[in-house]
Structure 1
Amino acid sequence: MSHVLELNESEFESQVRQDSGLVLVDFYAPWCGPCRMLAPFLEKLAQEFAGRVRFVKINVDEAPSLAASYEITGVPTLILFKGGLIIDQVVGLPSPRALQERLRELAPPAPAGVTGA
C-alpha cells in the first residue's frame, strides 16, 4: 500500500489547500526519469513522517490547469504547504538528505514512543 496519495485536480482543494497541517505535494510526470527516482524515497519519507506530514502526488499530464496555476515549469516539483499556504518549493530532483532535514525542521514532533510506520 502506498503512503503517498495520488490526487486529481478536483481533490486538490479539499486534500491540500484545506488541510491545516503539513502537506508535501509532488508534481510529477510518469515519463520523467528523476520523478521515478524520487518516488521510492518519498514513500520512505511518508512512512517516517506518518501522521505528521501528508504526502500527495499530482500527475501534471492529467492536471494541466493545476500545474499551470502553480507555475510548474519542470518536474519533479515539490511544494510544501502548511495550513493551505506554500511554505517551501523545490524544482528538480532534491537532495534526499536536505529534504529529510527540512521536513524534520518543520514537522511536529512524533508522539512519545512512536517512530515511522
Structure 2
Amino acid sequence: MDDNELNEVREKRMATLKEKLEHQSVAGGVIQVDQLHINDLLQKHPALVVDFWAEWCGPCRRVGPVIEELAQEFSGKVTFGKCNTDENQQLALQLNISAIPNIVFFSHGKMVDRVIGAYPKEAIREKILRNFP
C-alpha cells in the first residue's frame, strides 16, 4: 500500500468516526465521550456535562439513570455524555479525576464545575441550572 492509498484509508476512517460521533448525539440522548474526541465535543457543544464512571463502580450505576433523565429534560439546551475512566485513563488524569462518579460541567470548552459522588437528581439539576442559565 502506497502513501496515497494509506491517506485515503485514514480519511475514510476519520469520516466514518466523525459520522458515528454525530449520530451518537441524538436529541435527548447521552453521547459517548473518549479521549480521542473530547476536543471536538468541547468545540461542538457549548454546554456539556460529562459523567465519568466505571463499570465496577456501584455509585456510578445509580448516577447513570439520573444522567439519562436529565439529558431528556435538558434536551436541546445541554449535551450530556458518559466517559468510562477505565477505557480513557489519559483523559481522566488530564482532568484530575481521582474519584468516581465525577460529573464535570464544561461551558464553551472550559471546565466550570464538577460534582464528585452519587448526588441526587435535584442537586445535579441545580448545578446544571447554575452553570447553564
Do the two structures share a fold, i.e. TM-score over 0.5?
yes
Rounded to whole Å, the distance in 1 between the matches of 2:70 and 2:45 is 20
- Residue 106 of structure 1 deviates from its aligned partner by 3.4
1:23 lines up with 2:48 in the alignment: yes
1:72 is the counterpart of 2:108: no
Tell me which of 117, 121, 124 is aligned to 1:96.
121
Instruction: Please identify the structure whose Cα radius of gyration is greater.
Output: 2
Q: Could you give the per-residue CA deviations for residues 22-79 of structure 1, whole angstroms, max 9, x where no partner exists?
A: 1001110011001111111110000000010000111000001110011110111011
Aligned-residue CA RMSD (Å) = 1.6
Distance 2:45 2:34 in 1: 19
Unpaired runs of 5+ residues, structure 2, are 1-25
2:86 aligned partner: 61
Contact 2:105 2:131 in 1 (8 A): no
> Counterparts of 2:77 and 2:30 in 1: how far apart (Å)?
13
- CA deviation after TM superposition for structure 1 residue 20, in Å: 5.2
1:50 aligns with 2:75: yes
Alpha-carbon shift at residue 19 of structure 1 (Å):
3.3
1:94 and 1:84 mapped to 2: Cα distance? 24
Structure with a larger share of its residues in helix: 2
Q: Percent identity?
A: 36
Which blocks of at least 5 consecutive residues in structure 1 are unaligned? 109-117
Answer 1 or 2: higher relative contact order, Cα 8 Å, separation at least 6: 1
The ranges of structure 1 where at least 4 consecutive aligned residues each deviate by more than 2 angstroms after the TM superposition are 104-108
**Partner residue, 1:115:** none
Q: Is the 8 A contact 2:48 2:81 kept in 1?
A: yes
